[in-house]
């Protein structure tokens, strides 16, 4: 298996948002998730993050897109990195307030450690949530 290709497939599925059903083929069982970001503080597994993305992306900000700026893979550490901008508009139910119709253009990074079988073994998300929340008019 090509680990970087699998990491890209996972990234695309997660951002689709395909939820766990769409992401599971590229993720090892029980893969942990980590983010130093308030909205994601209680999410501990990649599975739960995929479901969070599905709910957020399909209900709260339907039609969200992303611009992938760069990606890389380090063979030595089996680490894939994706830097992108999330583009969305709060038009659906969900979130702390009724739809604001405000847009967000928020930078973020996925750091995916791949296992020897080429699946996501762990994930870290680097995201400035307060910036995104302010853009959406939630703060």
Q: Which domains does the chain show, CATH number per domain?
A: 3-135 (3.10.450.50)
Indicate whether 1 pLDDT > 80.
no
∠ CA(67), CA(109), CA(96), 5° rounding?
A: 85
pLDDT in tens, 8-64: 999 999 999 999 999 999 999 999 999 999 999 999 999 999 999 999 998 999 999
Let me know: does 26 contact 11? Beta carbons within 8 Å.
no
> Which one-letter DSSP state was computed for residue 19?
H
> 3-class SS at 92?
coil
pLDDT of 6 strictly over 80? yes
Comparing CA positions, the residue from 119, 113, 109, 106 lying closest to residue 56 is: 106
End-to-end CA distance of the chain: 44
Q: What is the pTM of this model?
A: 0.95
pLDDT of residue 71: 98
For 97, the token pair is 């307030």
Rg of the chain on CA atoms, in Å: 15
Mean pLDDT of 92-96: 88
Q: Can you tell me which residue has the tokens 């750091």?
A: 111
| 121 or 94: which leads in pLDDT | 121
pLDDT above 70 as % of the chain: 99
CA distances from 115 to 37, 52, 60 (A): 25, 23, 33
Confidence of residue 74 (pLDDT cuts 50, 70, 90): very high
pLDDT band with cut points at 50, 70 and 90 for residue 122 = very high
Question: How high is the pLDDT of residue 137?
Answer: 92
pLDDT at residue 4 greater than cutoff 90: yes
Using an 8 Å Cβ cutoff, are 73 and 80 in contact? yes
């Amino acid at each position: 298996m090509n680990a970087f290709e699998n990491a890209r497939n996972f990234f695309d599925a997660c951002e689709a948002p395909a939820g766990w059903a769409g992401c599971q083929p590229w993720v090892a069982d029980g893969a942990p998730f980590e983010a130093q970001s308030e909205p994601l503080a209680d999410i501990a597994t990649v599975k739960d993050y995929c479901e969070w993305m599905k709910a957020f992306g399909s209900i709260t900000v339907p039609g969200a897109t992303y611009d992938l700026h760069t990606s890389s893979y380090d063979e030595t550490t089996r680490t894939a990195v994706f830097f992108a901008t999330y583009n969305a508009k709060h038009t659906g139910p969900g979130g702390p307030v009724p739809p604001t119709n405000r847009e967000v253009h928020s930078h973020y990074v996925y750091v995916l450690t791949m296992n020897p079988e080429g699946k996501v073994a762990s994930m870290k998300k680097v995201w400035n949530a307060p910036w995104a929340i302010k853009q959406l008019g939630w703060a």
